Structure 1
Amino acid sequence: MKNNFQRFTFALGILFLVIPETNVLGDDHNPQSTATILVGSEAKAISADLIGIFFEDINYAADGGLYAELVQNRSFEYSRGDNRAWDSLTAWSRVGPESTSTSVTVESREPLHENNPHYLVLRAEREGDQLSLRNEGFDGIPLVGGDTYNVSLFARAMSGTPGPITVRLERVTGEKLSEITFDKLSGSWTKYAGKLLPAIDDSNARLVVSTARPGVIAIDMVSLFPQNTFKSRPNGMRRDLAEVIADLKPRFVRFPGGCVAHGDGIENMYRWKDTIGPVEQRKAQRNIWRYHQTMGLGYFEYFQFCEDIGAKPLPVVPAGVCCQNAGNYLNLVPKGQRGIPMQLMPEYVQEVLDLIEYANGPVTSTWGAKRAEAGHPEPFHLEYLGVGNEDEITPAFKERFAMIHEAVKAKHPEVTVIGTTGPATDGRDYEEGWKFADAIKLEMVDEHGYKTPDWFWDNLQRFDGYSRDRSQVYLGEYAAHDRDRGNTLRSALSEAAYLTAIERNGDHVRLSSYAPLLSKQGRTQWRPDLIYFDNVAITPSINYYVQRLFSIHGGDQHLPTTVSVEQNSNEQGAHLDSIRLGTWNSQAKFDDVRITQGTDVTFNDSFDQLSSDWNLNSGQWKVADGALLQTSDEQPAVIQYGFPADRSGYTLRLRAMKSSGAEGFLVGFAATANNEYMWWNLGGWGNTMHAIERFREGGSSIVGSTAQGRIESNRWYDIMIKVAKDRIQCYLDSRLVHDVAYEYMGATLQLAASCVRESSSGDTILKIVSNASHPVNTTIDLSSLGSLGDLATKVVLSGYADAENRHGEPAQVVPVTSTISISPTQQVEIPANSFTVLRIHAP
């Protein structure tokens, strides 16, 4: 997960064909498109673990979310280090008027456990003094009438004869819902436990702890847990939320997170041993997302949850370094990436090896015995281990990662170690991460990134060219980020298209997981997310249904799938294009701008004067000394020239020089009547790289791969952009920098398809994704597959592209299932903006 200092974008590629349409009228005016999907018979084995989930404690996903504890700050460990507005009594408040003969403090002498240093102290001097503290829970305590709730606390009598302690559940009006009393308090820490049974529902209850006799009482670990947890596990998961996750049928679960794993500084790394054993002995810590982790949801619970939902565990441990974006939260002093001191690394490497023993070792082993003590003598069958998360690929990282990797492979060659290629799908860390993976012959790397829906569609060939001789790929985090970060159908369809590519490349891309998984209403720090919830309700996003359909309709063999399209539009007609010259917080000169179409030079400007053909959009432009100058700091400063073009394309040539400023040049091209255009961003992103960007519907996305590079000041560069019917090529000083497949003057309609076979059932499953705004009549040719059943289950997600399933509102898009007859050659109408699954049952 990207931390709170950086955001990146990402997308991947699939087999696709852009359907050409008339640009002037747009997609809505050409409903005549037809398509053919041809499925071949040569099956290729693909990963059976392809679709999983990524859990990170962000957006209150754990405490206050999946972890079923209902008391917030149960051990009084909250602090300003978690959140500047917090202290040890956050979420607690005193009930009734204060008295000079009573006091409430938080102390740390003789704690319950060294990992749990703070506790509550209630002091009362006179008979009849009553002390009551109320806990508000996580935005209230939800109760179900008739259900049983386990209540517990640790207490000790520090002086006098205090007690008893009363714990009750009440409404916000003060009306009692259930109550229990613990008496005969001991002088040493003792656990007191019982049950509370409210008779009626209340979604916003409170828990109150009271005492009414003279003396001093220490209290810690005040807990309220529903008995009705997922699989009835003690210290378990919120049942309804866990069931929605289980319904995804994930093949694996990555935990405990992304940035949470490597932490906000060395001292904040997620250390697995701190999260096992009795909950009162676990070491809580601040969350990198600026709240608190009790570690009640720890490694044992993660492993148990994986087993309960039939998913393989995929823990991620730090690679011996913290997040490169670590910073001191309280005084805002940056820290950056730091490594565990090398003299301590052997101890840390052993910690990683101990984790594998904890998961897989026999009960006779040291850590296998600890697993058995927790109630699970059988191993958890760990196959995958992630090491590192989006780390900057520095010498410090490489040295520590190599130590961990070598030790794990020497002792546990059966475990697949998964490395990292940084936080994005291109750039320095990505390139260095892959070089490092090649050098140490790493089995698998974890790629991350987030992009716009267009990026996913524009980069649909990404994995086809990955060498099968290099590390296999785990797509540990991805999501389509639409406008305003909404979970639109548009974003879900682009992810579905991407997943068809993952299926096709499932022999090399072995694992994938959307991120983030969970988001609590009112506590959302990152959007979009897969599942939204509050204390009583859950809203799966449209993206959730895409993930679920790919998971439950997965396969272990991929069948070659070809998409072709025919339609009747006048695609060769004239079109008004434009070129744009620009800068971003820089000043520059441009000269000798020339457009060639075929063998004809249709535009040539050496800037003897500023022609009225140029339209000034922004910035300060003038002609001086035979060149076009831009002298402002605007972001961007743009001048534009329009011209007629046809589908055959054109070549744009020019010279450019940066005079001063932070970045380089912007050269725009390939504009359409729908206000879409491309530009080549040279020396962008702080003058660190070059990239082609597409601008559409108010957003932008990178097309193809980026290239490292910078633009020097006070030297002329020769720039050439070739826009052809089906590709774009960009040259800088005669060197080819980008070569991108792109349908010039094509429409926005795209189709993607993938066909798999499930060996266990014999079923053949065809998935089709369309972003057309009209239905597409499609011929599905399955004749090469031989004998098939004559019935198919058809599942469709469709609606308006901007549709969202918003929390608290009726769902706009849900799967619709039907049964249809099927034949070797079948005519099917693919709905507008849709994802269709056809599961053809074996005969």
Structure 2
Amino acid sequence: MEKLLKKPLIYLFLVGCLGAQQVFAQTKQGGKPISPDLFGIFFEDISYAADGGLYAELIQNRSFEYTPADRYGWNSFTAWEYVTKGFGYGAISVESQLPIHANNPHYARLTIEEPGQEGIGLQNNGFDGIPIKKGEQYNFSLFTRLLSATPIPLSVQLRSRKGDVYGEVSLNADAKEWKKGSGVITAGVTDDSAVLVITAKERGSLDIDMVSLFPVKTFHGRANGLRADLAQTIADLKPRFMRFPGGCLVHGDGLGNMYRWKNTIGPIEERKEQRNIWSYHQSMGLGYFEYFQFCEDIGAKPLPVVAAAVSCQNSGGTWRIGGTGQKGLPMDEMQDYINEILDLIEYANGPATSTWGAKRAAAGHPEPFHLEYLAIGNEDKQTPVFRERFKLIENAVKQKHPEITLIGTVGPFPAGEDFEAGWKFANENALQVVDEHYYEKPEWFLEHKHRYDSYNRSKSKVYLGEYASRGNTWFNALAEAVYMTGLERNGDVVRLSSYAPLLARTGHTSWNPNLIYFTGTTITRTPNYYIQHLFSNNAGDRYYAGIVSLDNEVNTGASCVKDSKTGDIIIKLVNAGENKVKAKASIASLVAPHANAAVTVLTENTTGKNAPAVAIATSQLEAGKVINYEVAPRSVVLIRVPAKK
């Protein structure tokens, strides 16, 4: 207190920005504690983010479950072709009498009346083609059931669209009950649009289902795993948490389309597929086990989102005609639904001897996944139907699992009726954390960089679960960077944040902008990605006010945090304007004098079409008691000063 009184101007500045209580706490402890989980990621199966994206399966519609309900014009043979070259003939049909499992009701029946010179069979075209690399190996598998008297040899080939053979494996259909066959195909060439062809060269009849092709080199070598390069691009962000599996995907397009986590675990042939609210299909190959495992592999805390027992208020509206809007599960079904959520927590955290912990162990993970967060609902309309069901779920979870941090929701916008009603409900019920969402123009983010300065620290914390500035230009990224310095400044009330959406397959986007765009062979990191990468890779757990000053507060932002694990002081300077800005950082009390600081500068890359979106320059400077730095227009500067020795 005496030191503060000797510097009244600094004291008044700090009180104005933080409030007296925060200033005293910061002075006493050396900075104020902020959330160590501030920067994370949000994964939703939108724009082919899962099937055809992060999930490494290369076969589309592998179990013949596509229907016109998924998308107009689709059917059980979408992405498949009937192959009858070489004067062969027979018949192909889709059947459902005796499936592998009730959750997987459809399969293909192939009858070979005359195999001809090349046999007859099926060709799968993948997702915009099947990308293969010369010398790489691919795990192939399928289920067959023999209907005729004698075994039927099968040839499985990777081919060009013109018919050139790139690699092959041979199998036999020889069992009267469903039987899995597998083999490894080595690609002889590189081709970004190959096809897979299964042919039978003897007369007979058989059933085929669950045709699968995976690169052997998945992320971390996981079976039923993830696309290695795309998963690594996400891992490079070093997210503190991952929210999954949605989004609007969670509460779905009507009650019958709600995402039910139990349908996504166990053997893939027993998982229950369904249409996607974004008008395509979910194989559920990327299910809850795989989500938890990916979180563990990248060091991110899992943050699953479950529906609050209501459907999306937009059900049938934005996506379909004649929808119902928000509807709640019947009250006589609520206890079963609550038990489903409690079972999820047991699946994640229970011992291997528990009912659901045993299922996790059977999948290959006897140790718990250490679930800390659980979100209930997703930008739901604040209605009595929603609130009644939310409270039933929240009370049950809190009673049985008080160790879990529950996250509520306050609608899809940064203001308005649902936002106000959601916060009122949160305050009345003392919710731990609430989820805010907003997509706005970049100018909005610049104008609202102080949004959280005035939030009440004694009430619900904030998870900024979805935000983006409606574009992927460098200016969009700069506006988000300015805003993110405000998230760090308010990291005592903003506990979590994640840009959205994360992934989009080029040519199949349901929403724009996105953080990462991809095709079967390419990955495009947007300018926004580089900003998220910089902040997440240089996060802290203590914030220092009054350390950094700028001579222009318009379209600029600055923050100073400490990473307690390394002891480093991390300064971020953002200038989204068109003129130079002078920054001054008084760090004498935080670091050793004359420390050798690392400097990273991000600017727009204008060198060419195929160049990365952002230019990154690194250098060093000697950090004395004061750092004076001139921030160039439209740039982001990171100064990382090593710990005191």
Could you tell me how far 1:814 is from its partner in structure 2? 3.2
Local SS of the residue matching 1:438: helix
2:546 is matched with 561
> Secondary structure, in 3 states, of the residue corresponding to 2:357?
helix
Letter in 1 for 2:324: K
Q: Counterpart in 1 of 2:256?
A: 267
Greater CA deviation, 39-48 or 403-412?
39-48
Q: Does 1:60 align with 2:60?
A: no
Which structure would you say has the larger RCO, counting Cα contacts within 8 Å and 6 or more residues apart?
A: 1
Matched, 1:827 2:632: no
Residue number in structure 2 paired with 1:451: 440
Question: Which has the larger displacement, 320-329 or 436-445?
Answer: 320-329
Alignment partners' CA distance in 1, 2:347 and 2:467: 30
Once structures 1 and 2 are overlaid, which stretch shifts more, 448-457 or 329-338? 329-338
Contact 2:375 2:407 survives alignment (8 Å): yes
- Does 1:513 find its partner at 2:318? no
Are 2:570 and 1:765 aligned? yes
The CA deviation at 1:752 is 1.1
Distance 2:211 2:378 in 1: 34
Q: In structure 1, what is the Cα distance between the partners aligned to 2:85 and 2:591?
A: 82
1:408 aligns with: 397
Asked if 2 retains the 8 angstrom alpha-carbon contact of 1:167 and 1:181, the reply is yes
Mapped partners of 1:295, 1:561: distance in 2: 49
Q: Which moved more, 1:517-526 or 1:781-790?
A: 781-790
Query: Residue deviations 1:232-284, cap 9 Å, x none?
Result: 00000000110110000000000001000110110111100000000000001
Q: Cα distance 1:283–1:835, how it changes in 2: closer, same or farther (>3 A)?
A: same
Answer whether contact 1:81 1:330 (CA < 8 A) is retained: no
Q: Could you say if the C-alpha distance between residues 258 and 209 of structure 1 is closer, same or farther in structure 2, counting changes exceeding 3 Å?
A: same
Equivalence for 1:286: 275
- For residue 818 of structure 1, what is the amino acid of its counterpart? S
CA distance in 2, matches of 1:319, 1:108: 34
1:121 to 104, 109, 129: 109
**Residues 212 and 419 from structure 1, CA distance in 2 versus in 1: closer, same or farther, beyond 3 angstroms?**
same
User: Contact 2:88–2:116 at 8 Å: present in 1 too?
Assistant: no
Could you tell me which residue of structure 1 aligns to residue 19 of structure 2?
A: none
Partner SS state of residue 273, structure 1: helix
Aligned to 1:135: 124
The 1:143–1:243 alpha-carbon spacing in structure 2 relative to 1, beyond 3 Å, is same
AA in 1 matched with 2:556: L
User: What residue identity is the alignment partner of 2:47?
Assistant: N
Give aligned-pair identity as a percent.
53
The CA distance in 2 between the partners of 1:786 and 1:115, in whole Å, is 60
- Asked if 1:429 corresponds to 2:418, the answer is yes
Q: What is the match of residue 307 of structure 1?
A: 296
Counterparts in 2 of 1:331 and 1:67: CA distance versus 1, 3 Å:
closer
CA–CA distance in 1 between the matches of 2:245 and 2:449? 30
- Maintained 8 Å contact 1:789/1:840: no
Aligned amino acid, residue 777 of structure 1:
K
Structure 2 CA distance, aligned partners of 1:127 and 1:521? 39
Q: Deviations over 1:97-151 (max 9, x none)?
A: 6989511111111011100000001012346483221111001111111111100
> Residues 634-783 of structure 1: matches in 2 within 5 Å?
749-783=554-588
Pick from 38, 54, 74: which aligns with 2:62? Answer: 74
Matched with 1:5 is none
1: CA distance between counterparts of 2:446 and 2:582? 21
Alpha-carbon distance in structure 2 between the residues aligned to 1:331 and 1:508: 38
Q: Deviations over 1:510-539 (max 9, x none)?
A: 000000001111111211111111111111
**Mapped partners of 2:145, 2:555: distance in 1:** 68
Q: Which residue, out of 775, 790, 794, partners 2:595? A: 790
Answering whether residue 294 of structure 2 is matched by residue 493 of structure 1, we say no
CA change 1:754–1:529 in 2 (3 A) is same
- CA deviation after TM superposition for structure 1 residue 775, in Å: 2.3
Does 1:362 find its partner at 2:351?
Answer: yes
1:207-227 Cα distance to aligned partner (Å, 9 max, x none): 001112222210000000011
Among 38, 45, 49, which residue is 2:37 paired with? 49
- 1:49-448 correspondence runs (5 A): 49-96=37-84, 102-126=90-114, 128=116, 130-161=119-150, 163-327=152-316, 332-448=321-437
Which string of whole-angstrom CA distances, capped at 9 and with x for unpartnered residues, describes residues 366-411 of structure 1? 0000000000000000000011001111111111111110000000
Separation in structure 1 between the aligned mates of residue 573 and residue 546 of structure 2, nearest angstrom: 10
Residue 468 of structure 2: aligned partner: 479
Shift in CA distance, 565/128, structure 1 to aligned 2, threshold 3 Å: closer
Deviation at 1:788, TM superposition (A): 4.5
RMSD: 2.1
SS state of the match for residue 249, structure 1? coil
- Verify the 8 A CA contact 2:130 2:192 in the aligned structure 1: yes
Structure 1 stretches lacking a partner, 5+ long: 1-14, 18-38, 568-747
Change (3 A) 1:184 1:390: closer
Aligned residues: 619
- CA drift of 1:162 comes to 5.3
1:535 aligned to 2:520?
yes
Deviates more, 1:278-287 or 1:821-830: 821-830
Q: Which has the higher helix share?
A: 2
Query: Which one-letter code corresponds to 1:81 in the other structure?
Result: A
Return the letter of the residue paired with 1:533. Answer: F
Instruction: Provide closer, same or farther for how the CA distance between residues 87 and 775 of structure 1 changes in structure 2, counting only shifts above 3 A.
Output: same
Deviation at 1:184, TM superposition (A): 4.9
What is the alpha-carbon distance in structure 1 between the residues aligned to residue 591 and residue 191 of structure 2?
A: 59
Contact map agreement 1:154 1:190 (CA 8 A) in 2: yes
Structure 2 SS opposite 1:191: strand
1:528 and 1:127 map into 2 onto residues whose CA distance is 50
Structure 2, gaps ≥5 residues long: 1-13, 17-25
Please tell me whether the aligned partners of residues 477 and 515 of structure 1 are also in contact (alpha carbons under 8 angstroms). Answer: yes
